[in-house]
């Protein structure tokens, strides 16, 4: 069972916490992490790109000139893809790029991603992260204390609005509640700064399957 140090926001160690082997000590499956991150990127695609075919562009109600005798190429419509302003052949149309992987695969990927951060010592646990009011400067000071002021996900318990507002304007810093943390969030950031309550919540959610 992996153990991690628990810190105060000032950087002092105030205790230790045992992490669940089932969530933070699994064998790291890079293939599954890749598949789930890829699916999350695909699900985020908007897919609104659209072009008009020759049936949709305006004009072309009649043949521009007679078939023979002009010395010019044979043309049936000005909507031909060969003409400027004509239709587009095999152009993009609005579509949904998303697809869904099995629940067990998604959970295994999240456990693997969390376990990799613990193994790399990039999983920092805080006793708590409370703000009386949103303070970006204070959040930045805390992040710098742990050398986590670049490419870090701050994970707190659900409803910590002041922590979210304190972190949202810092470049490279992402705030997530324990319930909303994704594989893509983890693999695209270097460190996780997690409150003790959020760790408990992650273990509750991910220990069930």
Spatial CA neighbour of 102 closest among 170, 206, 32: 32
Contacts of 55-64 with C-beta under 8 Å, sequence gap 24+, read 55/79, 55/87, 56/87, 57/85, 57/86, 57/87, 59/85
Percent of the chain with pLDDT over 90: 87
3-state helix, strand, coil in the chain (%, to 5): 35, 15, 50
CA distance 129 to 186: 19
Ordered by start, the domain boundaries in the chain are 3-45+100-206, 47-96
Q: What is the pLDDT of residue 69?
A: 94
Residue 126 DSSP symbol: E
Q: What is the pLDDT of residue 61?
A: 82
Is 13 a residue whose pLDDT tops 80? yes
Q: What is the pLDDT of residue 51?
A: 96
Q: What is the pLDDT of residue 2?
A: 79
Is 63 a residue whose pLDDT tops 70? yes
Q: What is the mean pLDDT of residues 6-33?
A: 93
More confident residue, 50 or 207: 50
Mean pLDDT of the chain: 93
Is 24 a residue whose pLDDT tops 90? yes
Q: Are 37 and 187 in contact (CB under 8 A)?
A: yes
CA distance 1 to 22: 9
CA distance 155 to 188: 15
Domain 3-45+100-206 has CATH 3.40.50.300: no
Q: What is the pLDDT of residue 209?
A: 58
Tokens of 67: 């078939």
Q: What is the mean pLDDT of residues 29-48?
A: 95
């Amino acid at each position: 069972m992996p153990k991690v140090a628990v810190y105060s926001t000032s950087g002092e160690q105030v205790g230790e916490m045992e992490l669940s082997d089932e969530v933070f000590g699994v064998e790291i499956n890079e293939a599954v992490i890749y598949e789930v991150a890829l699916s999350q990127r695909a699900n985020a695609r908007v897919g609104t790109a659209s072009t008009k075919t020759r049936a949709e562009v305006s004009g072309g109600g009649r043949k521009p000139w007679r078939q023979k005798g002009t010395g010019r190429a044979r043309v049936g419509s000005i909507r031909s893809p060969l003409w400027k302003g004509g239709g587009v052949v095999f152009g993009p149309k609005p579509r949904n790029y998303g697809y869904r992987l099995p629940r067990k695969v998604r959970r295994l990927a999240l456990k693997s991603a969390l376990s990799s951060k613990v193994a790399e010592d990039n999983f920092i646990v805080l006793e708590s992260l409370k703000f009386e009011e949103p303070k970006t400067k204070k959040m930045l000071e805390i992040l710098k204390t742990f050398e986590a002021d670049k490419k870090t996900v701050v994970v707190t318990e659900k409803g910590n609005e002041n922590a979210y507002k304190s972190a949202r304007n810092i470049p490279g810093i992402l705030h997530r509640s324990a319930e909303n943390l994704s594989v893509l969030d983890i693999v695209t950031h270097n460190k996780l700064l997690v409150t003790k309550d959020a760790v408990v919540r992650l273990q509750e959610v991910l220990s069930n399957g």
